[in-house]
Amino acid sequence: MARKLVTKLSNRECFTLTEKDTLKTASNKLQTHNVGLMPAYGEDEMLIKEQIDIISFYVSKSAGK
């Protein structure tokens, strides 16, 4: 059973957010792909915690509507 779950999860497509994503597009991507989080990348590195917190707050509020 666990082997099937690991195989299923390891074959999922990877989705990411970029600095070009708006809060709305980030929220839509999370809801469309039915995931609770996505790696968020800027030009040279991952987004900072404050940027990710802002996106998380917006997504949680949007999902509650």
pLDDT in tens, 5-63: 777 767 777 777 777 888 888 888 888 888 777 666 666 676 777 877 887 787 777 76
Which pLDDT belongs to residue 1?
A: 65
Is the pLDDT confidence value at 65 over 60?
no
CA 60/CA 65 separation, integer angstroms: 9
pTM to 2 decimal places: 0.48
- Tell me the C-alpha distance between 2 and 21, whole Å: 35
- Phi and psi (nearest 5°) for 19? -65, -15
Q: How many CA atoms lie within 13 A of 26 on its CB side?
A: 25
